Structure 1
Amino acid sequence: MYQFPTVAPLPMQQHAVKSHQDAKEMQLGLKVEGHGPAVVLLHSSMGSKSQWRMLMESMRGTHRLIAIDLYGYGDSAMPALGERHSLDDEVRLVQSKLDQLLAPGERFHLVGHSFGGGVALRLAHANPARLHSLALFEPTAFHLLDRKDKVLDDIRAVAHLTRVAADEDQRLAATEIFIDYWSGKGAFAALPPARQALFTSLLPKVPLDFQALIDDPLRPSDYSRMAVPSCLITGRDSPRCTHAIVNVLVARMAKAERHEIGAGHMAPVSHPALVNPIIEGFIRRIDGQASRAQ
């Protein structure tokens, strides 16, 4: 099980120097706003910490919002290309940020979307006692589906095309395939050229995301004993595989509730007014239950 290690304090003079260095490092790939119970936010592939800007604005009066850039996105560096990349690697990145921000043993709410939802699931499984709650919008935890399930055929095809195109520097076409799969046909063509270029520049990380999500060793039974209050949200217009994954989790997780909205997979970005109230309401309800219990 992963732990959130504590570090012995340094002598005063050394500690001042190290604190200055850590403060500079913490600004990379991290955005923190507000005060109160901690809420950790993990974004989708080709996204960044800024994805959660509106949710942070809504909740910062009562909560401490911590949005983190996953590897290869926002201000976080790419992992070493050519090496195996796993959800564990992303979990360690998230934990390294939380070790700097949270007190030893401090609990937090965890929110994730798509690839960030897959990372959040892995972190929740490793440290369920650290979580107040878990809120996920369509976690793309493909490893939870039967490997023979036909809903995975499209995912394998998209994953293959992004990997081959990235290797052959045919990134624009591969990026269009990836964006259109998750957001609907024509979505990429409708973007302004600057946005197309931005997404295309992020493509090299996408095959590593697919690798981590498909190859993770955990199976549905691994989540059967996880009793973290969980909120799972789907979009009515999303690809079939996302609904299949949420179906598996709802059936296995002891304290899971499900919501569906009239939008697609990228709803946390395209329709935050539909998604954010569900997440915020769920977190506030869990906080209220904890207060009454105390």
Structure 2
Amino acid sequence: MILSHDDEGSGPAVVLLHSGVCDRRMWDEQVAALAPSYRVIRADLRGFGETPMPGERFSFADDVVALLDHLQVDRAAFVGSSFGGRVALEVAVTAAERVASLALLCPALRGLPSTPQADAFDEEEDRLLTSGDVAAAVELNVSTWLGPEASAASRDLVREMQAHAFAVQLAAEEQDPEPEATRVDVDLALVSVPTLVVSGGLDVDHFQNIAQHIADSVAGARLEHLPWAGHLPSLERPAAVNALLAEFLA
């Protein structure tokens, strides 16, 4: 299956991977800023946006590599937000030759201890979804993951993207067989490309811990702490994140 995607601009390739509460629409501002200088590829990961989630075993990282093959892209810089950051790291350790650099915005990563704050969010989201109150679960995600700098339009967009993702993923759970994602454990010692890690000062503490851990564990990684940012800084202050990405990619 080829991921639904957009391919704009020309120059060195940059792949944008969205967060778990969004889809590729979250990158509108970044595409506009980067496409004059880069070939910008943004995809909907499986179960998000326009990419379906059939009942089969799959790998998010393999899906991304298959898209690169389809587009005849040998190597690209990767920009990943949250869950997309985790997928970018998975590509970096399973297909290292395809990754030129990594910009990880409040990335996710398996293996670190959780925190009471993160556990409380997970428990409340599970409670709401189990009770069938999907609308309240959407609002919980919007209020948790967007910092105070986000505009009303950004909040509405995340609301729309998260509601769609819930609809697709909850329907997928009713399939027989269900979709089954292959687990990829990331050994950060294997990451050897230039790496920028962004942390939000208003983000959930678990993600701040992940950002620090990645920055400490990847040789030469640079940690950029944004005191004003929640979990989705590219949607909160797009111009500031665009400038940061342009400087790093250059």
- TM-score by length of structure 1 reads 0.71
Does residue 126 of the first structure (1) align with residue 91 of the second (2)?
no
Q: Which structure 2 segments of 5+ residues have no match?
A: 173-179
Q: 1:198 to 1:120 in 2, by over 3 A?
A: closer
**1:211-244 residue CA offsets vs partner (Å, 9 max, x unmatched):** x99x95626xx11232111000112211111110
Out of 258, 263, 269, which is 2:235 matched to?
269
Cα distance in 2 between the residues matched to 1:200 and 1:236: 26
Cα distance in 1 between the residues matched to 2:206 and 2:158: 27
Instruction: Tell me the percent identity.
Output: 28
Does residue 145 of the first structure (1) align with residue 112 of the second (2)?
yes
Partner of 2:246: 280
Does residue 176 of the first structure (1) align with residue 139 of the second (2)?
yes
Secondary structure, counterpart of 1:98 in structure 2: helix
Cα distance in 1 between the residues matched to 2:203 and 2:229: 7
Amino acid aligned to 1:178: N
Partner of 1:90: 60
Secondary structure, counterpart of 1:140 in structure 2: coil
Instruction: Say whether the 8 Å CA contact 1:42–1:120 is kept in structure 2.
Output: yes
Out of 78, 93, 107, which is 2:53 matched to?
78
Q: 1:66 to 1:257 in 2, by over 3 A?
A: same
Q: Which structure 1 segments of 5+ residues have no match?
A: 1-24, 285-294
Relative CO higher for 1 or 2, CA cutoff 8 Å, sep ≥ 6? 2
Cα distance in 1 between the residues matched to 2:156 and 2:36: 37
Q: 1:38 to 1:245 in 2, by over 3 A?
A: same
Cα distance in 1 between the residues matched to 2:127 and 2:155: 25
Out of 108, 125, 132, which is 2:76 matched to?
108
Does residue 218 of the first structure (1) align with residue 193 of the second (2)?
no
Larger Rg: 1
Secondary structure, counterpart of 2:190 in structure 1: coil
Q: Which has the higher helix share?
A: 1
Out of 1, 6, 9, which is 1:34 matched to?
9
Amino acid aligned to 1:32: D
CA RMSD of aligned residues (A): 3.2
Instruction: Say whether the 8 Å CA contact 1:225–1:254 is kept in structure 2.
Output: no
**1:165-215 residue CA offsets vs partner (Å, 9 max, x unmatched):** 334421112222222222269x9x99988975663343256789xxx99x9
Instruction: Say whether the 8 Å CA contact 2:59–2:183 is kept in structure 1.
Output: no
Amino acid aligned to 1:171: V
Q: 1:125 to 1:73 in 2, by over 3 A?
A: same
| Number of aligned positions between the proteins | 239
Instruction: Say whether the 8 Å CA contact 1:37–1:64 is kept in structure 2.
Output: yes
- TM-score by length of structure 2 reads 0.82
By how many angstroms is 1:258 displaced?
1.1
